[in-house]
């Protein structure tokens, strides 16, 4: 038989393409078109990601991955991690190498180095990366036997790589060589690192090897990379803006909260202004729940260990719970959840079908163990207050109850300034409790409720919790970042574990369906999100200090007090800046504190019953009659607008 001259491959749209025998993915891209070949980063053969150099066989299904796709960007970033590792290897020959994956917005690599790196070292590493990239070396793949790979990395004195190989069972190990630097990796990668042009190293942090605090602490360098220079520039601008909005910095600057070593990590202390902000959120939360048929309950901070055994938390959640304490020979645990205590309230007396639905809500403070390395201001803490509620209903009530929760979300989250959402329905996992029929009923109810509320959503297959399916709603802030807020979970587990029932119309006992739901989530996290969303410049209704009255001289204090009394009666949070500073200094200081309004009063204002209105952005609205000011601010307060136009 003669040598095969051509092969036939299939493209993603189902069409066929003829190519010379022994073609690579890059060759096929060139046949399709030079524009595609130029943008090509890697390929997908029969569903498996491969390098452009991978050989293509007759009948293969082939897809070209370009630098403009999300998968292509991921490959660029993973390759950039290898380029960074090569640069570190050249600058610090004694370096030991951990892992270097791509992540959501960039990449990182973990190093064991004989010296401590700082941000000052990053430009030097960046320069070396650029130098290596300019030489244009290829990232060349090689397959080694497990024993050969193990010997290679042990001989190179790379214990972390050797450990990774020892932990895999496959006989074939893939490696990539970059300019003489061999790394352990599955790939694929860009064909040459000269494709990596738009990158930036961002920070150095500590990271335990394999996330185990009992293992060595390595130095992790974070970076990012993009296909286009404009995208990198835009990302760095967003990072700069995010830094300006950092809730930890603003929390100190605006005197809202702090975390004190005397108490311990992850336990925030709320200052008066922060407590006022919390109270405003909580008051709105309570009023909306009462208006929507919820009753408020309160539960203790600790409970006997047996309660957590009944609920299943002792078996399934113990690593996130604090150790038991002994009280009068009984063991108690600080609560990580509110739901078992709500179950006990339900069990306190018999329930009838006429009682359902029952809706109980609680701002319940819970305590969960988090490793110190993941704690982050208000966003990840050890003690937090949960916006929690539980609904007990009959099967035929499930759809309407879910819809009612969604309608509350549609009202409450926009009131805080959030209008963009990503919504997911998480379905039955491999391990679950309850019957398939119950899961089907609950999942259909969740999807139908979202559809009837005119909300788009995505299915997150198999990601439901073991006790039931759920809806997760993520809000987007002013920078387009997603924050997990609302969750609506259907639970078949706790009603069964606690053996709760209601007497049906048939006079028989039936098990209610339980809905766990949080609208805002953790109040600590929600406040952190709000601070960053508004960069601390809260709308009037949320601002802990809403109006600063600035008397020009001591003789204007009496009139300032009259203005304060008038505004206070209108429900506004007002203070008089009575410091012995100049008027301009007071205005500037209150702008720094992001006070929404400043009312300057002097001789003319006292005579005419007016005040000079200034905004925190520096806008001077001039003198306004006090009646006009009060009416406008009351309207802005009630409308919850960020700022309404002055007539």
Question: So where are the chain's domains?
Answer: 6-66, 96-235, 257-299+338-534, 547-639
One-letter-per-residue 3-state SS of 548-583 = EEEECCHHHHHHHHHHHHHHHHCCCCEEECCCCCCH
pLDDT average, residue stretch 613-641: 93
Q: Which CATH class is domain 6-66?
A: alpha beta
Judge whether 157 and 187 are in contact, CB under 8 Å.
no
pLDDT by residue (tens digit) across 122-157? Answer: 999 999 999 999 999 999 999 999 999 999 999 999
Q: Quote the tokens at residue 567.
A: 């505004």
Judge whether 504 and 510 are in contact, CB under 8 Å.
yes
| Alpha-carbon distances of 518 from 49, 302, 364, 366, 543, rounded to whole Å | 39, 21, 11, 14, 24
- Least Cα distance to 110 among 80, 90, 81 occurs for 81
- Least Cα distance to 469 among 449, 484, 486, 488 occurs for 488
Backbone phi, then psi, for 112, in 5-degree steps?
Answer: -105, 110
First to last CA, the chain: 90
pLDDT over threshold 80, residue 504: yes
Task: pLDDT band for 1, please (50, 70, 90 cuts).
Answer: very low
Q: Quote the tokens at residue 72.
A: 């292509």
Supply the pLDDT for residue 433: 76
CATH code of the region 96-235? 3.30.980.10
Q: How many Cβ atoms from other residues are within 10 Å of residue 132's Cβ?
A: 22
Structurally, at CATH architecture level, domain 257-299+338-534 sits in 2-Layer Sandwich (3.30)
User: Does 6-66 match 96-235 in CATH topology?
Assistant: no
Supply the pLDDT for residue 4: 62
Supply the pLDDT for residue 111: 97
Active-site residue set: 339, 368, 386, 388, 390, 470, 516
Task: pLDDT band for 432, please (50, 70, 90 cuts).
Answer: confident
pLDDT by residue (tens digit) across 289-313? Answer: 999 999 999 999 999 999 999 998 8
Tell which CATH classification among 1.10.357.10, 3.40.50.800, 3.40.50.80, 3.30.200.20 matches the domain 547-639. 3.40.50.800
- Least Cα distance to 467 among 335, 343, 294 occurs for 343
What is the distance between the alpha carbons of residues 212 and 443, in angstroms, rounded to a whole number? 37
pLDDT by residue (tens digit) across 157-169? Answer: 999 999 999 998 8
pLDDT over threshold 60, residue 226: yes
pLDDT by residue (tens digit) across 384-417? Answer: 999 999 999 999 999 999 999 999 999 999 999 9
Average pLDDT, the chain: 93
Contact residues for 508 (Cβ-Cβ < 8 A; gap 6+): none
């Amino acid at each position: 038989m003669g040598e095969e001259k051509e092969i036939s491959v299939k493209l993603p749209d189902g069409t066929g393409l003829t190519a010379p025998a022994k073609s690579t993915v890059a060759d096929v891209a060139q046949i399709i078109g030079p524009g595609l070949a130029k943008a090509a980063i890697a390929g997908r053969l029969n569903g498996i990601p491969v390098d452009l150099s991978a050989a293509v066989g007759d009948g293969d299904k082939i897809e070209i991955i370009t630098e403009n796709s999300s998968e292509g960007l991921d490959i660029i970033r993973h390759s950039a991690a290898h380029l960074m590792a090569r640069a570190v290897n050249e600058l610090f020959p004694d370096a030991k190498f951990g892992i270097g994956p791509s992540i959501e917005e960039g990449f990182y690599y973990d190093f064991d180095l004989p010296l401590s790196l700082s941000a000052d070292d990053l430009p030097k590493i960046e320069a070396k990366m650029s130098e290596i990239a300019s030489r244009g070396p290829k990232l060349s793949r090689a397959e080694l036997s497990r024993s050969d790979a193990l010997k290679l990395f042990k001989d190179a004195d790379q214990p972390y790589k050797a450990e990774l190989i020892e932990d895999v069972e496959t006989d074939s190990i893939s490696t990539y060589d970059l300019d003489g630097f061999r790394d352990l990796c599955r790939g694929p990668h860009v064909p040459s690192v000269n494709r990596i042009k738009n990158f930036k190293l961002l920070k150095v942090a500590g990271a335990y090897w394999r996330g185990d605090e009992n293992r060595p602490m390595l130095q992790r360098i974070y970076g990012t990379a993009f296909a286009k220079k404009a995208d990198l520039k835009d990302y760095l601008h967003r990072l700069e803006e995010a830094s300006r909005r950092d809730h930890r910095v603003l929390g100190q600057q605006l005197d809202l909260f702090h975390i004190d070593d005397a108490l311990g990590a992850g336990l925030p202390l709320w200052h008066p202004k922060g407590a006022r902000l919390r109270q405003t959120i909580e008051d709105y939360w309570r009023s909306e729940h009462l208006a929507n048929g919820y009753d408020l309950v309160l539960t203790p901070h600790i409970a006997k260990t047996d309660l957590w055994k009944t609920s299943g938390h002792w078996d399934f959640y113990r690593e996130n719970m604090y150790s038991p304490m002994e009280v009068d020979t009984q063991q108690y645990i600080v609560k990580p959840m509110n739901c078992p205590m709500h179950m006990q309230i339900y069990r306190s007396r018999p329930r009838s079908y006429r009682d359902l639905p029952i809706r109980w809500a609680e701002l319940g403070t819970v305590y969960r163990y988090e490793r110190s390395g993941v704690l982050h201001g208000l966003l990840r803490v050890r003690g937090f207050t949960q916006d929690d509620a539980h609904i007990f209903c009959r099967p035929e009530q499930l759809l309407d109850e879910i819809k009612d929760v969604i309608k509350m979300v549609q009202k409450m989250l926009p009131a805080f300034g959030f209008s963009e959402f990503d919504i997911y329905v998480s379905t039955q996992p491999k391990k679950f409790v309850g019957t398939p029929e119950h899961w089907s009923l609950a999942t259909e109810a969740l999807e139908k409720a979202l559809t009837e509320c005119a909300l788009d959503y995505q299915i997150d297959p198999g990601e439901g919790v073991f006790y039931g399916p759920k809806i997760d709603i993520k809000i987007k802030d002013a920078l387009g970042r997603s924050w997990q807020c609302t969750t609506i979970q259907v639970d078949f587990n706790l009603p069964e574990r606690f053996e709760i029932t209601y007497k049906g119309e048939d006079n028989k006992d039936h098990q209610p369906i339980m809905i766990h739901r949080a609208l805002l989530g953790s109040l600590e996290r929600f406040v952190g999100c709000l601070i960053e969303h508004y960069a601390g410049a809260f709308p009037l209704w949320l601002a802990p200090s809403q109006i600063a009255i600035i008397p020009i001289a001591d003789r204007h204090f009496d009139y300032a007090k009259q203005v304060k009394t008038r505004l206070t009666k209108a429900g506004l949070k007002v203070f008089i800046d009575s410091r012995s500073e100049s008027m301009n200094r007071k205005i500037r200081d209150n702008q720094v504190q992001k006070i929404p309004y400043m009312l300057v009063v002097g001789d003319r204002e006292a005579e005419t019953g007016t005040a000079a209105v200034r905004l925190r952005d520096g806008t001077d609205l001039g003198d306004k009659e006090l009646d006009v000011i009060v009416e406008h601010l009351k309207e802005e307060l009630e409308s919850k607008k960020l700022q309404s136009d002055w007539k």
